[in-house]
Amino acid sequence: MKSVTFSEIVRIRERPYFLARQGTWRQLLPWMLTLLLGVPLLIGALHFIDPDTPLPFIVLPALAGALLPAAMMGPGRFEMSTRFDAHHMLGTLDEALVSLGYRRTVSDPDHLSYFRPRPWLSARDGSIVVAVSPHALQVVGPVGSLRLLQQRIAC
């Protein structure tokens, strides 16, 4: 992949699709259980280990850690540029996305769409969309998945 360059992952300034509408109970249940049960248990366990630690030093990092997955689901994009025709990179991109658990749904010459089947996500949540131009691929999807995708392709 010597002739391929990656741009930085840029966050898109739109609300993530899962926040733009009311989620179903299957989408909200894992997150709500984590917040309602997991975070208080973590705070209690850390306070039990060291009771002298001030509570804000335990609570604030635990809440930040609970909200981190929501930040990784936010939408972002990056570009893969090459000197050659961008259609030659589609095989490598497809292999990397399949290794991450994605499946191709739409396959036009200039537009590809992938999704990861998860029972708590709808079809658009967590999907990756690839726009093909003559010398670049623009990849749009969740920031966490885009970081993993860049690592897989760069290896």
Return the biggest CA–CA distance within the chain: 62
Whichever domain contains 96, its CATH number is 3.30.310.80
Look up the pTM and report it: 0.66
Average pLDDT, the chain: 81
Q: What single-letter amino acid sits at 155?
A: C
What pLDDT does residue 122 have?
53
What pLDDT does residue 130 have?
92
pLDDT, tens digit, 9 for 90 and up, residues 34-45 = 788 888 998 899
pLDDT, tens digit, 9 for 90 and up, residues 98-136 = 998 898 887 787 888 998 876 555 555 678 899 999 889
Write down the residue that tokens 């396959």 correspond to: 107
118 or 51, which is more confident: 51
Residue 94 belongs to domain spanning? 74-154
Same domain, 86 and 116: yes
Residue 2 covered by a domain: no
